[in-house]
Amino acid sequence: MRAPAFWWKTAPDALALLLSPLGAVYGAATARRMARPGARVGAPVICVGNFVAGGAGKTPTAIALAKALQEIGETPFFLTRGYGAREPVTTPLRVDPGKHDSQRVGDEPLLLARAAPTIVSPDRVAGARFAIAEGASVLVMDDGLQNPSLHKDFSIAVVDGAAGVGNGLCVPAGPLRAPLAAQTPFIDAALVIGEPRPGLALPGSLRIVAAKLEPERSAVAALKGQRVFAFAGIGRPEKFFDTLRAAGAIVVGAQAFADHHPFSAAELALLAEQARRHGARLVTTEKDLVRLPAGADVAALPVTLLTDPADAMSALAAAALAKAVSRG
């Protein structure tokens, strides 16, 4: 399902207030769960998560972090549960992009596996131990901030600057998974992607890193001035459509789907027909592209995470390892 629009208002509206008692119960339960001790597995665990339900840019952040770890001689493995897989694994599985597809492992693991070895496991502790046996020196968790099963040595919360924490309430009244004040004690750093919305206040105790998602230059050059029909099944599809416009593409039509939407051949055919009627080319995100039927004639707009300053991710990687060592 797609996140309701009222979640992202700067203040709760009437519907949000009506749902707020349910949100308070949900948020309190999540906060209690986050406080449980997790299992230690003998290697540093760095979690890349977010405060809210839905996408915020965790996967590009995790990829940038893994690259920073590789540059200092570490062997990072990604650990993910493979959300969105239609035939989910039941035991830890090392992703092979040449063999596995999104139905088997989910979309994000296929992107992660291009950057570093990736383990999909519904049981995070079992997955972590499997990764260590496979040669991991450090584990990068893509999501799982609110899951206490595995001890985290360092946690980074990714924040979509434009969306912030929405109306500040918990699911289903708002997008927060637990009250912000209950989550921040478990966070070491917040990475804010894009210009932060007015009123977005994060505790001064947090290390805050500014970042942006930069479209790949060759893809921008190929799409600039071109008529495109865009579609996306991510947390905030509108953000992708805006990125296309900023890149100079002429967006003649756009269709949003729910996050991790499994596209069928029939849906793709309908999208292709709409694009044809507009004399446009179909374009989507990298994450959506890996969920499309084989042979789909669709362009993608890859993005890379850039931090300000440029070495901020390297500093986070070093801080995470140092904290893990200090804890033994």
In this prediction, residue 1 has a pLDDT band, given cuts at 50, 70 and 90, of: low
Give per-residue pLDDT as tens, 169-208: 999 999 999 999 999 999 999 999 999 988 788 887 889 9
DSSP string, 168-181: S-BTTTSSBSS-HH
pLDDT at 87 over 80: no
Is the pTM value of this prediction over 0.85? yes
- Count how many residues are written for the chain: 328
Q: Which DSSP category does 289 fall into?
A: H
Report residue 328's pLDDT band, with 50, 70 and 90 as the boundaries. low
Average pLDDT value for residue range 86-105: 90
Helices 312-326/58-71 angle, 10° precision: 70
Q: How far apart are CA 177 and CA 29, in angstroms?
A: 10
| pLDDT average, residue stretch 294-308 | 93
**Contact between 145 and 153 (Cβ < 8 Å):** no
Which backbone phi and psi does 139 adopt, to 5 degrees?
-110, 135
Helix (H, G, I), strand (E, B), or coil: what is residue 113? Answer: coil
> Measured between alpha carbons, how far is 200 from 214 in angstroms, rounded to an integer?
22
**Protein fold of 33-74+137-213+305-326:** Rossmann fold (3.40.50)
pLDDT at 250: 98
Measured between alpha carbons, how far is residue 211 from residues 82, 189, 208, 238, 264 in Å?
Answer: 25, 13, 10, 19, 34
pLDDT at 32 over 90: yes
Question: What span, in angstroms and rounded, lies between the C-alpha atoms of 14 and 25?
Answer: 18
| Predicted pLDDT at 142 | 93
Task: Give me the mean pLDDT over the 244-267 stretch.
Answer: 94
- Classify domain 217-301 by CATH architecture: 3-Layer(aba) Sandwich (3.40)
As a whole number, mean pLDDT of residues 95-106 equals: 91
Query: Would the pLDDT of 105 be above 80?
Result: yes
- Is the pLDDT score of 63 beyond 90? yes
Average the pLDDT over 301-307 and give the result.
Answer: 96
Nearest Cα neighbor of 95 from 116, 75, 74, 69 is 116
The strand ranges marked E within the chain are 45-49, 76-80, 93-94, 118-120, 138-142, 154-160, 189-193, 207-215, 227-232, 250-256, 281-284, 299-300, 303-308
Question: Which pLDDT does position 82 carry in this prediction?
Answer: 84
DSSP state letters, 130-155 = HHHHTT-SEEEEES-TT--SB--SEE
pLDDT score recorded for residue 294: 79
Lookup result for tokens 């993910």: 80
Cα distance between residue 314 and residue 307, in whole Å? 10
Domain regions of the chain by residue span = 33-74+137-213+305-326, 217-301
pLDDT tens track for 206-226? 899 999 999 999 999 999 999
Matching CATH topology for 33-74+137-213+305-326 and 217-301?
Answer: yes
Identify the CA nearest to 107 among candidates 270, 236, 260. Answer: 260
Share of the chain above pLDDT 70, in %: 99
The reported pLDDT for the residue numbered 293 is 83
Tens digits of residue pLDDT in 117-172: 999 999 999 999 999 999 999 999 999 999 999 999 999 999 999 999 999 999 99
